[in-house]
Amino acid sequence: MLQKMYDWVDERLDITPLWRDIADHEVPEHVNPAHHFSAFVYCFGGLTFFIVVIQILSGMFLTMYYVPDVINAWESVYYLQNEVAFGVIVRGMHHWGASLVIVMLFLHTLRVFFQGAYKKPRELNWVVGVLIFFVMLGLGFTGYLLPWDMKALFATKVGLQIAEAVPFVGTAIKTLLAGDATVIGAQTLARFFAIHVFFLPAALLGLLAAHFIMIRKQGISGPL
């Protein structure tokens, strides 16, 4: 069935050459775990991307039930977790995935650093990777407030105080994030939701696209 669908589309759009250009390329021997046990460290990047995909899909499911206002936010999360079929599983995947993706991204960054894969000609890709790391931290920070419980409230308060401590622009950053320099309220929740669901994912997808294009252009870095 899938083959017939593929043939039908390919007959009209000739997608096979494009697909082969994307998928059919030689993988260096040093990243083959069958030949080198150390090749497993090259899997950190792929595993990170896999978790990102899970985060996106589970997040799309969560937004179908989440209500981003101070009156209904906590109740919508409670309903999702206790009344919706598989809701507790999907929310658990999103919750633990948010921590796991940071761990895998950190391991991937360590592999790139200690193997010198950030050096010429891959300096720009290293910068993009660092930006991805900060975007993922921002996603974790903004997503933490959304359940709108006491733990999230106090954690966000501490985070905003840290942002406010930035020299010269700290107050402006806090006001931009919170909407109000004095209290965490409806504007804060609305802004964190918008940043978490729209702005940061858009930045993440753009950076990932640039990251993969440069990897394909420059190839996988060699061993030590």
Answer yes or no: is 46 within a domain.
yes
Identify the pLDDT of residue 22: 72
Answer yes or no: is 3 within a domain.
no
Answer yes or no: is 34 within a domain.
no
Answer yes or no: is 18 within a domain.
no
Q: Contacts by 75-81 with C-beta closer than 8 Å and gap 24+?
A: 77/146, 77/147, 77/148
Provide the pLDDT confidence category of residue 37 given band limits of 50, 70 and 90.
low
Answer yes or no: is 196 within a domain.
yes
Answer yes or no: is 144 within a domain.
yes
Which whole number is the average pLDDT over 95-113?
Answer: 96
Is 27 a residue whose pLDDT tops 90? no
Domain count, the chain: 1
Is 203 a residue whose pLDDT tops 80? yes
Identify the pLDDT of residue 217: 86
114-127 pLDDT, tens digit each: 989 999 899 999 99
Range of the domain at 113: 41-218
Q: Is 24 exposed, middle or buried (0-12, 13-18, 19+ CB in 10 A)?
A: exposed
Q: What is the pTM of this model?
A: 0.90
Looking at 26-40, 94-108, 174-188, which range is the least confident one? 26-40
Answer yes or no: is 4 within a domain.
no
Domain harbouring 154, CATH code: 1.20.810.10
C-alpha triplet 120, 40, 98: angle, nearest 5°: 85
Is 36 a residue whose pLDDT tops 70? no
How far apart, in whole angstroms, are the C-alpha atoms of residue 174 and residue 86? 36
Provide the pLDDT confidence category of residue 17 given band limits of 50, 70 and 90.
confident
Asked if residue 54 lies in contact with residue 97, where contact means CB atoms within 8 angstroms, the answer is yes
Phi then psi dihedrals of residue 221, to 5 deg: -65, 155
Which whole number is the average pLDDT over 184-202?
Answer: 95
Looking at 11-25, 29-43, 125-139, which range is the least confident one? 29-43
- The percentage of residues in the chain with a pLDDT greater than 90, rounded to a whole number, is 71
129-162 pLDDT, tens digit each: 999 999 999 999 999 999 999 999 999 999 999 9
Compute the mean pLDDT over every residue in the chain, rounded to the nearest whole number: 91
Identify the pLDDT of residue 181: 66
Is 183 a residue whose pLDDT tops 90? no
Answer yes or no: is 208 within a domain.
yes
Identify the pLDDT of residue 35: 62
Q: Which residues of 174-213 are buried (b: 16+ CB within 10 A; e: fewer)?
A: bbebbbeeeebeeebbebbbebbbeebbebbeebbebbee
